[in-house]
Amino acid sequence: MDVLTILQRIIEVFGTEKAGIVITSISHFMLLIALVYTVIHLIKMMFEHEEKGTGFEEPVIEAEKLIS
């Protein structure tokens, strides 16, 4: 099924007046799912980043040794 077929089916079922509301509701729901997924992914990456470290700890320690 392509997008046009889906839109035509929505218009057939709900009529032209309510089809816009239905399509808008579906798109908002999809955006909400994408937002929740993004936030969960960022939180997950933040915790992985804390566990692994930034990767700059050793060069900073070596630079501090060279300075002092």
Residue 36's identity, in one-letter code, is V
Phi–psi pair at 54, nearest 5 degrees = -85, -20
Q: What is the pLDDT of residues 26-65, one digit of tens each?
A: 999 999 999 999 999 988 888 876 666 655 566 767 777 7
What tokens appear for 29 in the block?
């729901």
pLDDT band (50, 70, 90) for residue 9: very high
Angle at 9 between CA 33 and CA 37, to 5 degrees: 5
pTM for the predicted model, two decimal places:
0.58
Residues with Cβ < 8 Å from 44, sequence gap 6 or more? Answer: none
pLDDT (0 to 100) of residue 32 = 98
